[in-house]
Amino acid sequence: MDRITRRGLGALGFAALASEAFAKAPAIRSAWPDATETAAMIRGGQLSALEATKVAIERTLNLQPKLNFVVASDFDRALKRAAAGAPAGPFGGVPFLVKDLDDFIGLPTRNGSRAFLPLPPATKQDALIDAYGKAGVNVIGKSATPEAGFLPTTEPFAFGATRNPWDITRSSGGSSGGAAAAVASGAVTVAHASDGGGSIRIPSSCCGLFGLKPSRGRTVDARADTRVSNIGVSHVVSRSVRDSAAMLAATEDSGPGAQHAPVGLVTAPLRRKLRVGLVIDGGAGKPPSAEVRAATESSAALMRDLGHTVIPTTWPIPQTFINDFLLLWASGAAGFADAIAQIAGRPADGTLMEPFSLGLVDMSRRAPKDALPQAIGRLEAAAKAYGRWFDDNRFDVILSPVLAWAPPKLGEVGPAVPFDTLVERLIEYVGYTTVHNVAGAPSMSVPLNWTPGGLPVGTQFAARVGAEGLLFQLAYQLEAARPWADKAPPVRI
């Protein structure tokens, strides 16, 4: 991290002023202003972009030793950008973190891996990162991720574990675990996240946040590849629905040739009744824990109270789906190992890659030559079955758990667990999120429930491809019916 200390921040004289501005601003509707409100305060002159940036840096410095969510800081440049004033855009002047799987010019991209530690700062970035800049955010650093985003927990050997602000002995989720811990603790109000098998929804569930995974091809960086094997998408994690909706409106592909009709800015709650499919068991037939089952049934009861029709159903995919997905995941690990070999000038081994990553590489390289094409063919069939599931049952959305358990203890699904044991655990733990990546469909984790012990448990709602607008409308309705904005974890600002 940049060598900026609390003493230096105090000498510049802005931390106290910013805190006072937050405390006195009449527009504040909750104890924790979200990104939309923060931007409104900046536009209204109640808070300057520089003051907001000073607050975010101070909070990051205070929380980083406890939670470990930042792997590279950009404090000096962020302060200079903020001193020039808030840029145009719906989030003008709002501090922001970019996930460390994506390039941001001027900062290194480590991918959560020891192999990338020596690399210089990035000199280019993707169109989506440009779009965040046009939305007005001010990047103060890079958020932590597991190695290459392979695991649903953020415990990389390169940087150490990111801890959950609701219980620092537990996982913050992954792969956007650093982003989720930062937002949940209040260091920043919104942060970039990405999702290749649940990596927006999983940390949102673990950290009590709202997280929507867009459709494949929705955002400005995702136009070219429409294959089911293109499972990764990007968006943000946030505390409020409106932050997520506004950021998607700012970053969606709405130009000629866009794959989907634009969502636009969704601001209103749902006004019609839905037909909701309810799934309890995971895609491999594994049941959730009793706590997660109770939370899911509570969410289903809330939907009924809101006038929606809830109908039990089952996944439209075979239980072998997860094995095909794992082979696709493993092929990505093999490509990652090849990239490391080029950087290091030698084959990737245990000094460069983590045990689980190497296990995936071995899985890929041991598979018969025709295994991956056959798996992709079956995944294509699963994607089609997902669409027919909605058509045949006239479902509007599907309600399910996000994860089979409440946030696990650090180490339970970490990279050092023996490979076969870890794969078995993952099949159970993340059996609810991968189908949407293959289908290219939107889904969201909504923080509707907490365990008796105080751990958040998200509920997943999924829709047809391209139906982000419907999900946002439903999320606004749920946010009003069971508010979560003022829920604060033990480790917070």
Residue-range domains of the chain with CATH: 6-481 (3.90.1300.10)
Of 85, 100, 24, 7, the C-alpha closest to 53 is 85
pLDDT the model gives residue 32: 80
pLDDT the model gives residue 226: 85
What average pLDDT score do residues 162-168 get?
Answer: 98
Q: Residue 200 has what DSSP assignment? A: T
User: How far is 311 from 57, CA to CA, in rounded Å?
Assistant: 47
What average pLDDT score do residues 19-47 get?
Answer: 71
User: How far is 445 from 459, CA to CA, in rounded Å?
Assistant: 5
HEC readout, 378-408: HHHHHHHHHHHHHHHHCCCEEEEECCCCCCC
* Residue 380 CB burial class (10 angstroms; 0-12, 13-18, ≥19): middle
Active site residue 299: no
**Given the residues 171, 185, 194, 199, the one annotated as active site:** 199
In contact, 113 and 154? CB cutoff 8 Å: no
Q: What is the dihedral of CA 433, 241, 407, 424, to 10 degrees?
A: 10
Dihedral over Cα of 251, 254, 260, 265: its sign: positive
Task: Check residues 193 and 5 and name the one with the higher pLDDT.
Answer: 193
Question: For residue 157, what pLDDT band results from cuts at 50, 70 and 90?
Answer: very high
Could you tell me what percent of the chain has a pLDDT over 90?
A: 91
Whether the per-residue pLDDT at 21 is higher than 80: the answer is no
Active site residue 199: yes
Whether the per-residue pLDDT at 23 is higher than 80: the answer is no
In contact, 95 and 78? CB cutoff 8 Å: yes
What average pLDDT score do residues 385-414 get?
Answer: 98
Could you tell me what percent of the chain has a pLDDT over 70?
A: 93
What average pLDDT score do residues 279-300 get?
Answer: 97
**Given the residues 175, 185, 400, 443, the one annotated as active site:** 175
List the alpha helices (DSSP H) in 239-282: 241-251
Kind of pairing, strands 95-99 and 138-143?
parallel
pLDDT the model gives residue 17: 39
What average pLDDT score do residues 287-298 get?
Answer: 98
441: left (phi over 0), alpha (psi -120 to 50) or beta: beta
Question: For residue 252, what pLDDT band results from cuts at 50, 70 and 90?
Answer: very high
**Given the residues 99, 185, 204, 364, the one annotated as active site:** 99
In contact, 465 and 230? CB cutoff 8 Å: no
Question: For residue 224, what pLDDT band results from cuts at 50, 70 and 90?
Answer: low
Whether the per-residue pLDDT at 418 is higher than 60: the answer is yes
What average pLDDT score do residues 255-260 get?
Answer: 91
What average pLDDT score do residues 367-389 get?
Answer: 98
pLDDT the model gives residue 3: 39
Distance between the two ends of the chain, CA-based, in angstroms? 20
Whether the per-residue pLDDT at 266 is higher than 50: the answer is yes
Whether the per-residue pLDDT at 301 is higher than 70: the answer is yes
Amino acid identity at 161: A
pLDDT tens column, 36-61:
999 999 999 999 999 999 999 999 99
Whether the per-residue pLDDT at 419 is higher than 70: the answer is yes
What average pLDDT score do residues 230-254 get?
Answer: 97
Of 252, 193, 195, 192, the C-alpha closest to 219 is 252
* Residue 217 CB burial class (10 angstroms; 0-12, 13-18, ≥19): buried
User: How far is 164 from 185, CA to CA, in rounded Å?
Assistant: 9
> Is 233 in a helix, a strand, or coil?
strand
Task: Check residues 228 and 225 and name the one with the higher pLDDT.
Answer: 228
Active site residue 134: no
Whether the per-residue pLDDT at 7 is higher than 60: the answer is no
Lowest mean pLDDT, pick from 119-123, 311-315, 316-320, 322-326: 316-320
Q: Name beta bridge partners: 309.
A: 275
User: How far is 311 from 223, CA to CA, in rounded Å?
Assistant: 35
Q: Which residue has the tokens 């239980």?
A: 319
Whether the per-residue pLDDT at 236 is higher than 90: the answer is yes
What average pLDDT score do residues 461-471 get?
Answer: 98
Question: For residue 77, what pLDDT band results from cuts at 50, 70 and 90?
Answer: very high
